[in-house]
Amino acid sequence: MAVQSGKDLLIKVDQTGSGSYETLAGLRATRLTFNAETVDVTTLESSGGWRELLGGAGVKSAALSGSGVFRDANTDARARQIFFDGVMPNFQVVIPSFGIVEGAFQITSIEYAGTYNGEATYDMALASAGALTFTAL
């Protein structure tokens, strides 16, 4: 696989609930993390005292984060609305030359910042809120 440009890793939000996805405006950096909790089933009979895990058990989750320049675009307004309404619409994460992860996410934080002689920026964190799908590219 060839080296990919970081700007091609995109976070998109379903703008209207109709499956029409639009890239969140102004993002400069994005990150997707997958997590899986473990279920420890180690007993006194475990070989050599090594930990044993129960396969297929535990809670799976994903976390999204992004930071960028505040643009006050339609997607900025949608992100604020999602946060204040406490809803969990579908998002897509496009991973270049790999695939698309799609599913419901909750925006868990939005932070706005700015300096006197710099641009206004924002940071956003999201947590998965249900089963995710993966479509290979």
pLDDT one-digit tens code per residue, 30-45: 999 999 999 999 999 9
Percent of the chain with pLDDT strictly greater than 90: 71
pLDDT grade, residue 70 (50/70/90)?
A: confident
The domain 6-136 having CATH identifier 4.10.410: the answer here is yes
Query: What predicted TM-score, i.e. pTM, was given to this entire model?
Result: 0.87
Are the C-beta atoms of 26 and 13 separated by less than 8 Å? Answer: no
Tell me how crowded residue 112 is: count the other CB atoms within 10 A of its CB.
12
- The Cα 37–Cα 15 span in angstroms is 32
The three-state secondary structure class of 46 is coil
Q: Which of 52, 61, 69 is nearest to 112 (CA)?
A: 69
